[in-house]
Amino acid sequence: MKVLITGVSSVPGRLVAELLSRNGHQVMGIDRRPWPGAPSQIPVHRVDLRKRPAEDVFRTFRPEAVVHMATVSYLERSSDDLRHNNLGSTKKVFEYCHNHGAKKAIFVGRHTVYGAASDSPIYHFEDAPPMAGSLYPELADLVAADLYAGQALWRYPELDSVILRIVYELGPHRHSTLATFLEGPKIPTILGFDPLFQFMHEHDIARAIVSALDHSIRGVFNVAGPTPVPLSLLAHETGRTPISLPEVLFPFITGRFGFSRLPPAALDHIKYPILVDDRAFRKATKFAHSYDESDAMIGFRTGDAAKTTNKV
Amino acid sequence: MKVLITGVSSVPGRLVAELLSRNGHQVMGIDRRPWPGAPSQIPVHRVDLRKRPAEDVFRTFRPEAVVHMATVSYLERSSDDLRHNNLGSTKKVFEYCHNHGAKKAIFVGRHTVYGAASDSPIYHFEDAPPMAGSLYPELADLVAADLYAGQALWRYPELDSVILRIVYELGPHRHSTLATFLEGPKIPTILGFDPLFQFMHEHDIARAIVSALDHSIRGVFNVAGPTPVPLSLLAHETGRTPISLPEVLFPFITGRFGFSRLPPAALDHIKYPILVDDRAFRKATKFAHSYDESDAMIGFRTGDAAKTTNKV
Amino acid sequence: MVPVSDEMMKRVHALDLPFNRYGIDPYGIQASTLAEVFTVLSWLYYSYFRVHVSGLANVPSAGRSMLVGNHSGGWALDGIMTMTALFLEPEPPRLAQGMAERFIGRAPLIGQMAKAMGAIVGIPENATHLLEHERLLLVYPEGAKGTEKLYSERNSLVDFGTGFLRLALRTRTPIIPVAFVGGGEAIPTIFNLYKLARRLGVPYIPITPWGLAVPRPTTLQIYFGEPIWFEGDGNEEDVIILRWVNEVKEAIAKLISKGVEERHRIEINRTKATAKTPW
Amino acid sequence: MVPVSDEMMKRVHALDLPFNRYGIDPYGIQASTLAEVFTVLSWLYYSYFRVHVSGLANVPSAGRSMLVGNHSGGWALDGIMTMTALFLEPEPPRLAQGMAERFIGRAPLIGQMAKAMGAIVGIPENATHLLEHERLLLVYPEGAKGTEKLYSERNSLVDFGTGFLRLALRTRTPIIPVAFVGGGEAIPTIFNLYKLARRLGVPYIPITPWGLAVPRPTTLQIYFGEPIWFEGDGNEEDVIILRWVNEVKEAIAKLISKGVEERHRIEINRTKATAKTPW
């Protein structure tokens, strides 16, 4: 199958591209950033998704499936230029898919769209309202992109659209929203709160995306891996020192004194959990994670992709 | 037909309820606010849409169609409690529709979801990305509610969902987002900008919603009325005095010195137009507005609902 | 930290919960917290209070069930002691997971501990999720109005909500009525502070003859009634639901009456027992 | 405000635009602004410059068309004079609506005036909308690179974008090549300021031998070529599109050559004419 991957130069983008290529698919990538040392069988086009040259890639390659991974979250970037990137580029990708005969489009979204709030359900199902936009302005664009992608399900009935809301990524590449938070040696936590964090190993994320491609599914799906763990345990197991501080001190310490940086609006994310129920996805694709919570945390700590346990 | 109207106590809610009732439908209303002097044939239940008693109304009345008008925009309210009202209550309404056998659901949304930006298309079509959420945090919830409502189109195929994005309302009742802005005797405008405003008479809005009900349509539709007019003309014709001020002075004058109040994030709304193309709606429903731009502006100024022109 | 006995740890691991290698279950229940807290609670259960339990056989040893109880005492003493009874008495032990007020979600420390013990913010989504995962749910349909009862109202029932019954129907869960008697004697509320409470972010503060609502060491009685099954899909008319809710309410009221009736005899036994082990 | 002649107002109302009772069309074009601005422009057109127009019959009197031109002169003089020619010369007059740079959308005053004259921020959605409403579109596929041309490059063409051609195909619009000759003589750019320009938020500032880019009163020549129709849906491969773009480019180049060739003769005529009306 001919598969086009947007945002291919990101860590999960590369992993998905390599996995698909190993599985015998013909893979092409789009990204504004370079992928130095990309395998020769995976051509990468350095174009902006919202500009015409991106459509030319669709026009000439005519992919059967598109994996749209070119979404950014505010913890990674914050420049104004990128503020509307997700919604604008998502619109274009689905339009290109429709115009150029793609049969399947996978939007790789995040579980953070549900928002972290004290009174939200402990596990979110796919039909839960994605509250993050009004809770955190920085996430409004991501929520809109996710919901806009979902509209392709009725707007383009000929296209099998899949919206994945994937939990945090963690693993040896150390390049993700959660990895950024776990950067510093001291991890700030809020006194009296120890929320559960749901994450998966980067290789499992790539495998999950590939299963979404391999099975004939359409719709919105939560994607998760092993049992979530409390923030304090996450910090310990990744070799960091969790330090509990009263909430009022937070604005003064993040990003200083060896503490990880944290945008002010993200505070609720270390007070309240965001957990998703992934039964629908597992049922539809037979996906099972192969790295447990310990593998992911130790993988992140050691930078070693090997499994530490014998679980499958 | 049995029609349930949420947000029935709002001005457009009452107009739709009365129009439907006159057309021979059996109408029931839900609102947290009272409707003093409601016609006896339109029972109003004062319940919160997100609470159980609201579902009881669906359960016992078993409406065939639901018109969801209980959305608020930030220019009208701003308390924190209401911040998530739109998304949460929209989720519930569509869930109730699905659970209790409704055949049609109309979400009454706003054209402001597209956002006001200098480089956006002069006319937005229904597939344009609704940018307002990331531009104005206050609108993020409204955008999410609108897009979430759109998901019902594939989630509940048995339910004919219609998402209307209606332009500003203007008319003798003087109770709308635009009316609030036109409240003061002096209307602040930004020096060097005179954006087009698209609005319709309140009676035309009610008629448009009723046509969406009367025709078997589903999908997202922009709804507009007469030709848009520049802000300066709008101010003049409604008997106000437009006063052009350099943008930098704005934070100091709105809401004072006789100037209308305006939230800081709304500034772009008086710099750049938000216009929608409504051809799809007119084609699908044969809707034609009967009040032109002059009728709406003069109606607002005089408080008189009579048409001033002979246009139909 | 509290020194935990082997026996207590053994009971924790006998629970039918999918703990991971760190002793954490998918709802954030922590094996170590359970062991520590139940160590403290078992002292209260066995030594401070005299708890009389009846009808334990009505609680199934596995699978989803909904315990529906009356409120008794100015705060969650009823729920905590019911949880403790179900952890200490049956073989294997069971963890009853309580539906807490929303403020538990926001409260630092106490909220965190409640969650680590299995409490869940009381919204329908959470209750449904727990039941679908074959958990044992503990609900109080009287809500906060139930814990506000004064001493004189201690063995009465206020209005029941109906949400629990629709939930049981939707998830096909049996309802087990539970009566709690003695909470009113342990914490005899003479009045509630409301204004101060609002300022502190809680619904009310119960005041006892000795001021704060520290319970005195009285007899507590817990009666588990026979499971009640209702057939339906949860979308029934209110009038039907209300009839069924009243069936549950009457079952609890009957158990309460039984408890009130038996209370005198049980307390005499207690006096005899404590006469033997003076502390 | 500028005093407007009856003749000018008559021409404005002869335009095929759906003005409402306030003289405003759905794109915000204002009849009063058109009348005032064209009053000023007609003086420039007839009296300051000597404008020579050829091939007007190639511009249809109604319906969608895309005028595709070359840039000539350091700023929008080419577009403005082409608009003026089409407003003043044919019967009925036509309004050519220009696709402007994005900064027009943000710029106070000048941006507002451009919009009231029919200019539109140059994004594909806007162009499509105008064409679907049977408007006359004026595009410059050379983009900003075209207006940056120095005096020595004045009659050459830089690379064309391809967007306009796909747009014409998608909307089934004929392309009318337009050549503009003389802009380089009117505003002979000797170099462009880039650093200062960036600070002022514009792409560049052209500098002429007399400093600022105030045009001198020279001859301007506008040639409208025959409409070119392409058959397709706009999703053709790049190689095909590029071939067609080159066809358009060559048509324009041919018109430019013709203009350069004729320029001497036209200027002589001009000298004779101005000798008669000295000002």
Read off the pLDDT of residues C65-115 as tens digits, 9 standing for 90 and up: 999 999 987 778 899 999 999 999 999 999 999 998 887 888 888 889 999
Q: What is the dihedral of CA D128, D134, D135, D141, to 10 degrees?
A: 40
What's the one-letter identity of residue A159?
Answer: L
pLDDT at residue number A263: 67
Dihedrals φ, ψ of B140, to 5°?
A: -60, -40
pLDDT at residue number A203: 96
Indicate whether C231 pLDDT > 90. Answer: yes
pLDDT at residue number A80: 46
Point out the residue among A119, A277, A293 whose CB comes nearest to the CB of C123: A119
- How does residue C273 score in pLDDT terms, banded at 50, 70 and 90? low
pLDDT at residue number A308: 57
CB atoms closer than 10 angstroms to residue C199: 9
Q: What is the mean pLDDT of residues A74-79?
A: 46
Q: Which residues of C touch B59 (CB under 8 A)?
A: 235, 237-238
Element (H, E) at A180: helix A177-181
Indicate whether A253 pLDDT > 80. Answer: no
pLDDT at residue number D215: 82
List the CATH number of the domain containing D193. Answer: 3.40.1130
Angle of the C77-88 helix axis to the C31-43 helix axis, nearest 10: 100
Q: C184 to chain A, minimum CA–CA distance in Å?
A: 30
Low-confidence stretches of chain D (pLDDT < 50) are 275-279
Residues C245, C160 contacting (CB under 8 angstroms): yes
pLDDT at residue number A113: 94
Residues A145, A85 contacting (CB under 8 angstroms): no
CB contact under 8 A, C121 and A190: no
Q: C16 to chain A, minimum CA–CA distance in Å?
A: 16
Indicate whether B12 pLDDT > 90. Answer: yes
Pick from B71, B81, B147 the residue to mutate for testing the A interface (most A CBs within 10 Å): B147
pLDDT, tens digit, for every residue of B274-309? 999 999 999 999 999 999 999 999 999 998 866 655
Answer yes or no: is C23 within a domain.
Answer: no
Q: Which residues of A touch B130 (CB under 8 A)?
A: 87, 144, 148
Indicate whether B200 pLDDT > 70. Answer: yes
How far does CA A129 lie from the centroid of its chain?
A: 18
Helix, strand, or coil here: B168? strand
Point out the residue among C163, C235, C237 whose CB comes nearest to the CB of B52: C163
**Of B201-215, B228-242, C120-134, D176-190, which range is least confident?**
D176-190
pLDDT at residue number C223: 97
Q: Which residues of B touch A88 (CB under 8 A)?
A: 129, 131
Q: A248 to chain C, minimum CA–CA distance in Å?
A: 13
**Of A10-14, A27-31, A122-126, C141-145, which range is least confident?**
C141-145
Q: In terms of DSSP bridges, do strands C65-69 and C136-139 run parallel, antiparallel, or are they unpaired?
A: parallel
**Of B86-100, B214-228, C13-27, D206-220, which range is least confident?**
D206-220
Distance CA A92, CA C169 (A): 46
**Of A32-46, C46-60, C193-207, D241-255, which range is least confident?**
C193-207
Helix, strand, or coil here: B199? strand
Longest dimension (CA), chain C: 57
Answer yes or no: is C202 within a domain.
Answer: yes
Distance CA C86, CA C93 (A): 6
Indicate whether C235 pLDDT > 90. Answer: no
Better-predicted residue by pLDDT, A43 or A254 = A43
Tell me which residue of A10, A25, A27 sits closest to A205, measured CA to CA: A10
pLDDT, tens digit, for every residue of B68-77? 998 766 444 4
Size of interface B-D (CB pairs under 8 A): 66
Point out the residue among A83, A90, A155 whose CB comes nearest to the CB of B134: A83
CB contact under 8 A, C24 and A229: yes
Distance CA C46, CA C34 (A): 17
Pick from A78, A92, A151 the residue to mutate for testing the B interface (most B CBs within 10 Å): A151
Residues C136, C86 contacting (CB under 8 angstroms): yes
Give this prediction's pTM: 0.90
CB contact under 8 A, B233 and D105: no
What are the residues of chain B with a beta carbon less than 8 Å away from any beta carbon of chain A? 83-84, 87-88, 90-91, 95, 127-131, 133-135, 137, 140-141, 143-145, 147-148, 150-151, 153-155, 219-220
The residue of chain A with its CA nearest to that of C121 is A119
Q: What is the mean pLDDT of residues B172-195?
A: 88
Overall domain count for chain D: 1
CB contact under 8 A, B52 and C162: yes
Q: Which residues of D touch A60 (CB under 8 A)?
A: 237-238
ipTM higher than threshold 0.90: no
Write down the architecture of domain B2-311 according to CATH: 3-Layer(aba) Sandwich (3.40)
Q: What is the mean pLDDT of residues A278-301?
A: 96
Assess whether chains B and A touch, using the rule of 3 or more C-beta pairs within 8 angstroms: yes
Q: What is the mean pLDDT of residues C13-39?
A: 95
Q: What is the mean pLDDT of residues C237-244?
A: 92
- How does residue A41 score in pLDDT terms, banded at 50, 70 and 90? very high
CB contact under 8 A, B131 and A219: no
Q: What is the mean pLDDT of residues C125-133?
A: 96
CB contact under 8 A, C235 and B59: yes
Domain ranges of chain A: 2-311
Q: Which residues of D touch B273 (CB under 8 A)?
A: 28
What's the one-letter identity of residue B200?
Answer: M
Indicate whether C15 pLDDT > 70. Answer: yes
Q: What is the mean pLDDT of residues B34-52?
A: 93
- How does residue C247 score in pLDDT terms, banded at 50, 70 and 90? very high
Q: Residue C162: which domain range?
A: 51-267
Indicate whether A261 pLDDT > 70. Answer: no
CB contact under 8 A, B60 and C235: no
pLDDT at residue number B312: 39
What are the residues of chain C with a beta carbon less than 8 Å away from any beta carbon of chain A? 18, 20-22, 24-28, 30, 102, 105-112, 116, 120-121, 123, 125-126, 129
Distance CA A95, CA A156 (A): 9
Indicate whether A84 pLDDT > 60. Answer: no
- How does residue C134 score in pLDDT terms, banded at 50, 70 and 90? very high
DSSP string of D139-191, one letter each residue? E-TTTHHHHT--GGGTT---PPPSHHHHHHHHHT--EEEEEEESHHHHS--SE
pLDDT at residue number B311: 44
What are the residues of chain C with a beta carbon less than 8 Å away from any beta carbon of chain B? 162-163, 235, 237-238
Q: What is the dihedral of CA B84, B90, B96, B101, to 10 degrees?
A: 180
Residues A101, A62 contacting (CB under 8 angstroms): yes
Element (H, E) at B207: helix B202-214
The residue of chain A with its CA nearest to that of D167 is A52
pLDDT at residue number A82: 47
Q: D277 to chain B, minimum CA–CA distance in Å?
A: 39
The residue of chain B with its CA nearest to that of C241 is B56
CA angle B14, B20, B22 (to 5 degrees): 100
CB contact under 8 A, C28 and A228: yes
